[in-house]
Every structure is written in structure tokens, then in C-alpha cells.
Amino acid sequence: MSEKIMEAASMAEGAVEFMDGHAVETLHQDYRTAYRIEETLLHDKSDEQELFLFKNNFFGTMLMLDGVTQLTTSDEPFYHEFITHLPLICHGAPKRMLVVGAGDGGVIREACRHKDLDHIDMVEIDEAVVRFSMEHLPSLSNGAFDDPRMNLVIADAAEYVRGYQGPAYDVVVVDSTDPFGPAAPLFEVAFYEDLRRIMSDDGILVTQCGNPFVQPAELELAGGRLKECFPIMSPVMITVPTYTGGQMSLGFACKNPKFGLPSRTKIAQKLASIGPSDSFLVLNEDVFLASFALPNYVRKAGFDPLR
């Protein structure tokens, strides 16, 4: 399995290419996506990573790390609305939430819209990510870091979870980078087992699992290990226009073996309690349920849809 993951990782070139006034994404060695640069906001290249922040007329402010698009201010809700609201709504009555990574603030912005949440712990390994996002991408968090329910912890998430002895979490969202380099421990069986231990009996976990067509080994790794650790697990299929291939899979896992998806009516009611329909760019009760439908190539990889 590890050989497959490293092979998938090697498909990324790991640097921004510049061509005719465009930033060229280099996630996959066999094709490229180019974005016109209207204005360069920041370009920093260190031994650890290359960061490029720029403006594009269509997608707004765009952030690339090591040649791979991380987010744009135009389409980031395609990702953040689903990875956040799906587990919170499926739980039904969440009080405590753990967010791993997500230093840009998009997840906590959406989570703070849930008035029934009492407490959110956010564990981010690098405080500089939070500072950078608050300075250069303030719309991502939209003031959520100042919410009194928010507790920011600067720590290694694997170590934090391993040593955690506090109240159980109802919902956990792991918003990490791909499963190699610094984020590799967040895809290990030991980490998922530690998360299961600190979750409530009805606890729900959602992780990012990469593009299931372009990066099938990532879903195979993360999804397979989640299936080992939780009685209920299925990928969730979402669309993110600026992610290579346009697709994204999330790993959805539940500690309760009797978990079932909420009805369309309950989902609609919950969304209405969070905010008016025009406050969501993508999410409604129909796409909520549709995201749990799996294409054949994902089913053939060993995953079954939730009902």
C-alpha cells in the first residue's frame, strides 16, 4: 500500500510553473491546468515549500502550495460546505467538535453557523498558517477565530489526539494535505483508532481522501484504513472546480453501527435553521443526499454507499 501512495505522490512535480502570464498547476505529470495571473500577492519559496498567492479574474484570490491549488475564494464553499455541514447535520445534535488542520478557517466559519454547537477545538500544527490566512484570506474565516466557542490549539494533531483525555467529541473533521510528508500520520490506522476512542457513541468523522479518479491510491489508503477502524464508512463524492480533475472524495465514518442517513425533510429543516438558502453556494437537501451516491469505479474499489 505504501508503495502505491508514494507512486501517486511522485505524480506531483512539486513546483509552480509560469508560462505566458499564467500559473501552471503541476499536481499530475501527464497534464496541466493554467490560471491567468492578474496580480501576484505573495510568492515565497523555502526549503519546506513554495507558496504562491495571486489574483485571477474568474476564481478570485488563489493559493498554490508546491504547484498544487489549495483554494480559491470563488469556489472554496464547494469544499467547506460539504466537509463541515454533512457530519454536523448527520449527527443531529452535536455539542463538541474537533477540527484537525483547516488553518485557513473555512471549516470553522461554516461550523460556527451551527448555534447548537457548544465547543470547537481546532488543532493546527503551524500557527503561521492561521496568521497567513487571517491576513491574506480573511473571508475564509470571516471572524470565526474570534467566536467564543472556538479554542485554537497549536500542536501536532496525532500527538494531541493520542494524549487527549477530555470530553468526547461528537463530530471530527480532518482537513489535511495529501497522505505523505508531514500529513502522513493523519492517515495511519493508529490515528483513526485514537480518534474513535475520543468520539462519542454517535460520533462522526469526515476526512479528505483526494480525487478518487486522479488519485485512486489516496482513497484506497484512507478509505481502507477508515473501514478497518469504524463500523460504518463510505466515501462522499463532491465537486470542487479548481481541484485537479474537478472531483473530490471525503471519507465519512460513524462510530454507531446503526447509523442511517437523515431524511430529505430533516436535512432541509436543518439547513434552514443554519441560514437562508442563498447563504449556501452549493449545499441543499438534494445535493446533500446525492453526495453519498457512488460511481461504479468507486464501488469496484471496495466501497458501498450509505443508505
How far apart are alpha carbons 235 and 94 in whole angstroms?
Answer: 21
Question: Is 170 noted as a catalytic residue in this protein?
Answer: no
- The residue from 170, 175, 178, 202 that is catalytic is 175
Q: How remote is the C-alpha of 67 from its chain's centroid?
A: 19
Q: 195-199, long-range: CB within 8 Å, 24+ apart, which pairs?
A: 195/98, 195/161, 195/229, 196/229, 196/230, 196/255, 198/98, 198/161, 198/164, 198/166, 198/168, 198/169, 199/168, 199/169, 199/170, 199/172, 199/255
Contact 209, 203 (CB under 8 A): no
Q: Identify the sign of the CA torsion 272, 278, 279, 284.
A: positive
Q: At 288, give phi and psi (nearest 5°).
A: -55, -55
Q: Which residues are the active-site residues?
A: 175
